[in-house]
């Protein structure tokens, strides 16, 4: 192992407290790059931009995933920045290298049947917790609210004569979100009569005066267990994804979905089309009489 690589790994352990597995991963990535540089008669610390670029191109040609290539480039960047900080070299040969474009991760949505089961499971929880669980599931699923938006709903946000609720989203941008009568009734039942006046729809003893995001997550986990679902698959974010996926699957257009979700850029909303395309592809493969393998 080149002494500069060894020094870099020692720095990660001493200054950043890197775990053994992390150090092993860095060592493996740098050893792979060192082998590439060695073919060109260079040590890893001597490599220039051309060597870095040819290395990245080789990763792509070898069929490695964009995520793996991005991780190795990150390791190289940190290594060369360490060398610059230590005065070993004055330049960073990775400076002009672009990180591989990572594929957008697909949302993990529950099926419509699983959402119904989750609501039924929430209703089976005892006492006030059951009423709260039903309200949270109903509100998150019917509106697509972010959990931060839900917990900060005011006491007067849900009125019987106002199916549209004003929500303050990211960047302080306000939008109108429709909430069903069923969800409004569930929320009011869960709120009941607070022991003390509160400005929040779901008051609590937390420092903010309202239910916390962590508390919402914990209630949903309980509902999932009561419903016989894997609690790791259920969260406020999953219900938001389920809202969007099911609307799109039933014919909603992307522009409307963007407005409902409060996305600043429609490109963020378009990720759901990929999920729908994948689902339709599987449907054809599994059921069409002329699909491969039939």
- 147 HSE (CA, 13 A, CB side): 19
User: Of all helices (H) and strands (E), which one includes residue 224?
Assistant: helix 213-227
- Partnered with residue 178 across adjacent β-strands are 164
- Helices 213-227, 127-143: axis angle to 10 degrees equals 100
CA 11 and chain centroid, separation? 31
CA distances for 25 relative to 34, 45, 72, 250, angstroms = 14, 18, 9, 45
The residues annotated with a catalytic role in the active site are 146, 170, 237, 240, 263, 272
CB 101 within 8 A of CB 268: no
Separation of alpha carbons 215 and 16, rounded Å: 32
Separation of alpha carbons 116 and 40, rounded Å: 61
Which contacts qualify for 196-205: CB closer than 8 Å, 24 or more apart? 198/155, 199/154, 199/155, 200/151, 200/152, 200/153, 200/154, 200/155, 201/153, 201/154, 201/155, 201/157, 201/158, 202/132, 202/135, 202/151, 202/153, 203/155
Find all residues with CB under 8 Å of 21, minimum gap 6, and list them. none
């Amino acid at each position: 192992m080149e002494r500069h690589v060894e020094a870099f790994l020692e720095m990660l352990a001493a200054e950043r407290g890197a775990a053994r597995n992390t150090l092993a991963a860095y060592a493996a990535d740098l050893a792979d790059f060192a082998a590439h540089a060695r073919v060109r008669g260079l040590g890893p610390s001597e490599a220039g931009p051309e060597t870095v670029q040819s290395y990245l191109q080789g990763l792509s040609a070898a069929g490695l995933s964009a995520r793996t290539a991005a991780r190795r480039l990150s390791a190289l960047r940190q290594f060369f920045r360490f060398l610059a900080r230590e005065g070993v070299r004055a330049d960073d040969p990775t400076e002009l290298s672009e990180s591989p474009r990572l594929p957008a991760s697909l949302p993990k949505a529950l099926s419509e049947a699983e959402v119904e089961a989750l609501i039924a499971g929430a209703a089976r929880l005892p006492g006030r917790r059951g009423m709260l669980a039903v309200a949270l599931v109903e509100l998150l699923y019917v509106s697509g609210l972010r959990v931060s938006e839900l917990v900060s709903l005011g006491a007067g946000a849900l009125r019987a004569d106002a199916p549209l609720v004003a929500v303050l989203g990211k960047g302080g941008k306000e939008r109108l979100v429709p909430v069903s009568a069923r969800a409004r009734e569930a929320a009011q039942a869960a709120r009941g009569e607070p022991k003390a006046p509160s400005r929040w729809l779901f008051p609590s003893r937390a420092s903010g005066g309202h239910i916390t995001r962590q508390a919402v997550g914990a209630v949903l986990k309980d509902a999932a267990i009561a419903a016989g679902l894997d609690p790791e698959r259920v969260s406020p974010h999953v219900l938001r994804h389920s809202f969007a996926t099911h609307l799109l699957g039933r014919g909603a257009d992307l522009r409307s979905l963007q407005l409902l979700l409060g996305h600043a850029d429609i490109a963020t909303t378009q990720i759901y089309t990929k999920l729908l395309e994948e689902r339709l592809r599987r449907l054809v493969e599994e059921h069409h009489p002329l699909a491969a393998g039939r």
